[in-house]
Amino acid sequence: MRDHLELLLGVVLVTGPALGISPCSFDHGVALYRFCNLTQVPHIPPTMKILLLSFNSIRTITPTSFPFLEQLQLLELGTQFTPLTIEKEAFRNLPNLSILDLGRSQISFLHPDAFQGLPHLVELRLFYCGLSDTVLKGGYFRNLDSLAHLDLSKNQIGSLHLHPSFRELNALKSIDFSLNQVASVCERELKPLQGKVLSFFSLASNNLYSRISVDWSKCMNPFKNMVLDTLDVSDNGWAVDTMRNFSNAINGSEIFSLVLSHHIMGSGFGFHNLKDPDQSTFAGLARSSLIKLDLSHGFIFSLNVRLFETLTELKVLNLAHNKINKIVEGAFYGLDRLQVLNLSHNLLGELYNSNFNGLPRVAYVDLRKNHIGIIQDQTFKSLGSLKTLDLRDNALETIHIIPSIPTIYLGGNKLVKLSHISLVADIIHLAENRLENLADLYFLLQVPHLQILILNQNRLSSCSPSPAPAESLSLEQLFLGENMLQLAWETGFCWDVFKGLPHLQFLYLNNNHLSFLPPGVFSGLAALRELYLNFNRLTSLSPGDLPAQLEFLDVSWNQLLAPDPAVFASLRAVDLRHNQFICACELSAFISWLNHTNATLRGAPADRYCMFPEAFAGVPLDSISTDGCDEEKAFQALKWSLFISVTVMLTLVLVTSLGAAKFRGVCFMCYKRAQRLLFGVSPQRLELDRYKYDAYLCFSSKDFEWVQSALLVRLDTQYSDQNRFSLCFEERDFVPGENHVVNIQDAVWSSRKIVCLVSRHFLRDGWCLEAFSYAQSRCLADLRSALIVVVVGSLSQYQLMKHRPLQGFIQKQQYLRWPEDMQDVEWFLNKLSREILKKEKKQKRGSSIPLQTVATIS
């Protein structure tokens, strides 16, 4: 009935406005009078089923306050802004009332007969009402034959001395006494509840048994002859002794789920004054038939031997959020039926072969958020029923043994490569690791039965040619977002990586710096339904690029210039937001397709806008008219004018993208060969063309030692013949005696790139900030991408933003961070080298282009 009512209420509240119930009125059996400044019950017709009167200022309820409402089932009277007086038989005009909610109303007077005459009351909510022990002693709940749920939490109850009438409450299921001040509860006090089966009994957050010392020989078993589904005694400040005495005291009471979270058991990290639980702590629970034990949020440091030995029926053990660092051999002995072991959010650093002995039925081990760096080979051997292993967010750099179980979570570790062992799994989660080589991807694709493979946020960027394309007949979802597949593919290899995946349905390739798609890369994906290519640098797509039965394509945040609508012909939905459309006649077919297609276009129309020519920058495509583009002549003329007047960049991009689309395979080979010739023969023979230096390194002289060892030694040609860059820096290359500003200006203008190493010293050094400003002004005047900012040390965005010269840059542009981990330095230097080598784009755009036929309408 309760469920039914809440459902009814939910429906009413959600659809209330739609049904036209305005506040402070009634309709369809619901009277909605919240926040109506009422001081008494309003007049409503007798057909009401629900009356909502919270958030008013009603002071008194008497038997005549309510009209006779025979059908009323729910009365909400909580949170009155004035203290509330409830007289004798105050609700007797509501004979069918099922839920009475008085929560958060300060009850200044409650007549012992206030709730009389409510034979159908199922739920009574009296939380936060300022009630004292009297409410339990005084027989207030007599004759509530249907009462199942009594909420007395957050009151000022100090003792649970129950009135004998509780014995007659035969429907009683749950009582909540949490957040009161019950210092102790003994057998005598709860006697009226003996013989009952309760689904929920809460004594949480009462400082129970911890403020006063208890003589258990007198107190005896408070839950004698009771059966409790869930007993919540969490957050009572229990140390090991209290726990042991309590579990001995409740010997024999059946409790299926014991909640003991937020305890103070355990020595914590680096302390020894409090004890960790031992073999005797929970021994008293042996005859309680415990199925679930929640010991989360405490200070247990060591899981001692045979700690849970007597809990032979336990199925779920939650030890999350403790300080567990040590699992003594045999800690889990006795847990023969355990199925779920939660050890997440602890301090485990390594796992040993013996750790999980004695857990024959465990199916799920949660080890997330520990500090596990090493795992002994046989650790999971003894877990014969293991199905899911969660090792996310640990510190694994290598893993030599992965058990063959259906689901393995290894995300958020530091794995650089996988050892290619034989392995069977359905789901493998490896996101946020440091995998680099696609060989690992080829290996994983061959894992039998694999359905879902999650590899986003790795560093997949290199390709050692694989012997044969990987084949997986089971794989359905492949997550490869936030890698660097562009680097792998531009070598000309690994283009066959998706060849053997005929059942793949979802493929994520977002954020991979992709500027091209290898021809035919998706051709084997016969079942692909959704393809995510968002946040890449694609300038064009050809009709043959996509699998034939694709339903959804995300190419938002790319650099598509003038897409051919034929590419999207089969799609049911497509996301094309934030591209770099050229609003010239070439785009007319696309614009008209956008206007007529049946495919769902994701996102707001305003996010599909022109990027070029400049005059149209930002104008939404749906306000561009293509009239006049149809005529062959106009089109020809336009094309011609486009060719001669559109900027160098546009033409270049168009030609290269067209060329690349047709011959990209060949192109990349040539490019690579040329590159190898150039660099292979003499690495330092970079074309310096008009620049004297490859880069001007600007840093604080206090950082010189560091810069020398971290960067100069590995990059500058004068330090080693192996290095490829000719760098400029103050200590060596500035002309002595020359004005410092002149020196800086010279360096800025005679280097292809300026690399600013922003450290704490840099921010305090006026000359550095000066140099930064010059570098920035050169960017404005000349080439946008000349300035590279590398943040060194733990400077927050906020600290950077405090410095005016940096503010603008930090807000708008990307900067690099010097890696915290030594092992990432090599990778970082490679990346920095690529940034230095990167050709700046000429950003000068043609200012006015006579495109008479393309006009905005709005």
Ligand X SMILES: *[C@@H]1O[C@H](CO)[C@@H](O)[C@H](O)[C@H]1NC(C)=O
Interaction between residue 70 and ligand X (CB under 6 A): yes
Residue count at the site for ligand X (CB under 6 A)?
A: 35
Q: How far is the CB of 169 from ligand X (least distance, A)?
A: 19
Please, are residues 257 and 230 in contact by the beta-carbon 8 Å criterion?
A: yes
What is the residue whose two structure tokens read 């993208």? 657
Residues 780, 781, 784, 785, CA torsion sign: negative
Helix, strand or coil, per DSSP, at residue 748: helix
Smallest distance from ligand X to CB 766, Å: 50
To ligand X, the closest distance from the beta carbon of 336 in angstroms equals: 20
Whose Cβ is closer to ligand X: residue 68's or residue 643's?
68
Tokens of 556: 């938002």
Q: How far is CA 90 from CA 43, 47, 49, 146, in A?
A: 16, 20, 18, 18
Q: List the structure tokens of 756.
A: 């600013």
Cβ–Cβ < 8 Å for 389, 413? no
Give phi and psi for 777, each to the nearest 5. Answer: -70, -30
Looking at the Cβ atoms of 56 and 202, the one nearer to ligand X is: 56
Q: Is 242 in the site for ligand X (CB under 6 A)?
A: yes
Sheet strands side by side (includes 60-61): 60-61, 84-86, 107-110
User: Smallest gap, in angstroms, from Cβ of residue 225 to ligand X?
Assistant: 13
| Residue 751 sits in the site that holds ligand X (CB under 6 A) | no
CA diameter of the chain: 105
Window 799 to 858, contacts with ligand X (CB under 6 A): none
State yes or no: residue 569 binds ligand X (CB under 6 A): no
The 693-698 sheet, strands edge to edge: 727-728, 693-698, 751-758, 787-791, 816-817
Q: Smallest distance from the beta carbon of 303 to ligand X, in angstroms?
A: 16
Nearer to ligand X, 597 or 799 (CB): 597
Q: Segment 362-401, which members bind ligand X (CB under 6 A)?
A: 364, 366
Write out the binding residues for ligand X, residues 5-44 only, by CB under 6 A. 24, 36-37
Q: Which parts of 336-355 interact with ligand X (CB under 6 A)?
A: 340, 342, 344-345
- When asked if residue 570 is in the footprint of ligand X (CB under 6 A), the reply is no
Q: Which is nearer to ligand X, 212 or 678 (CB)?
A: 212
Spatial distance between the Cα atoms of 634 and 640, rounded to a whole number of angstroms: 10
CB of residue 50 to ligand X, shortest distance in Å: 11
Amino acid at 843: Q
Site for ligand X in 245-284 (CB under 6 A): 245, 248, 251-252, 284
Minimum distance, C-beta of residue 343 to ligand X, in the bound complex (Å): 8
Q: Specify the amino acid at residue 753.
A: K
Using the contact rule CB under 6 A, the part of the chain among 53-61, 191-199, 545-553, 591-599 near ligand X is 591-599
CB 26 within 8 A of CB 43: no
Q: Which two tokens stand for residue 584?
A: 């010239």
User: Closest separation between CB of residue 403 and ligand X, Å?
Assistant: 17
Angle formed by the axes of helices 766-781 and 804-812, nearest 10°: 50
Smallest separation, CB 66 to ligand X (Å): 15
Which tokens go with 267? 């020595």
Four-point Cα dihedral 746, 752, 758, 764, nearest 10: 10
Complex with ligand X: residue 209 or 729, whichever CB lies closer: 209
Which of the 8 DSSP states describes residue 711?
I
CA 24 to chain centre: 41
Q: Least separation, in Å, of the C-beta of 345 and ligand X? A: 6
Out of 596, 804, 812, 839, point to the residue binding ligand X (CB under 6 A): 596
Single out the residue of 54, 80, 98, 558 in contact with ligand X (rule: CB under 6 A): 98
Which one of residues 189, 622, 770, 835 is an interface residue with ligand X (CB under 6 A)? 622
Q: How far is the CB of 266 from ligand X (least distance, A)?
A: 16
| CB nearer to ligand X: pick between 54 and 344 | 344
Collect all residues with Cβ–Cβ distance below 8 Å to 676 and sequence separation of at least 6. none
CA distance 239 to 260: 11
Q: Which residues bind ligand X (CB under 6 A)?
A: 1, 24, 36-37, 70-71, 73, 96, 98, 213-214, 216, 241-242, 245, 248, 251-252, 284, 296, 318, 320, 340, 342, 344-345, 364, 366, 592, 595-598, 622, 625
